[in-house]
Amino acid sequence: MDRPALNSMLLGSTNPDRLKAWYRDGFHAETNNYGTLDLGGFGLIIEHRDDVDAKAPEPGRFIINFAVDDIEQTAAHLRTLDVNWLVEPEDRGPGYFATLIDPDGNYVQIIQMKPEYYANL
């Protein structure tokens, strides 16, 4: 049996249109015919759900991570959208990390790893 490949994630929301617009605008995501956001070959599906709260009760339970080439450039773009930052970009040794909060309260990280990180894999 082939090993399964993780290729998408579903986010349930009480306001999916707002959340979808936030990810589309913040991360330049394209939307396919089914409404799935294409984030670098990974599909983010955002749907209305009646079994979730308006705000994530445990926002650190899962964190959506975006690998970026230039964290400062990405952060500058996100600042134009007036996002809520939990942690501004900072050097954490192997790379630069920042954490922001989406409109539903989920944590989202942008990460730029340093070249030496990849050299040591």
Q: pLDDT digit of tens for each residue in the chain (121 aa)?
A: 689 988 999 999 999 999 999 999 999 999 998 999 999 889 999 999 999 999 999 999 999 999 999 999 999 999 999 999 999 999 999 999 999 999 999 999 999 999 888 787 7
- Which residues on adjacent β-strands are paired with residue 9? 44
How many residues would you count in the chain? 121
Alpha helices (H) in the chain, listed in sequence order = 16-27, 71-80, 115-119
Residues 6+ apart with CB under 8 A from 77: 26
Task: State phi, psi for 84 to the nearest 5 degrees.
Answer: -95, 120
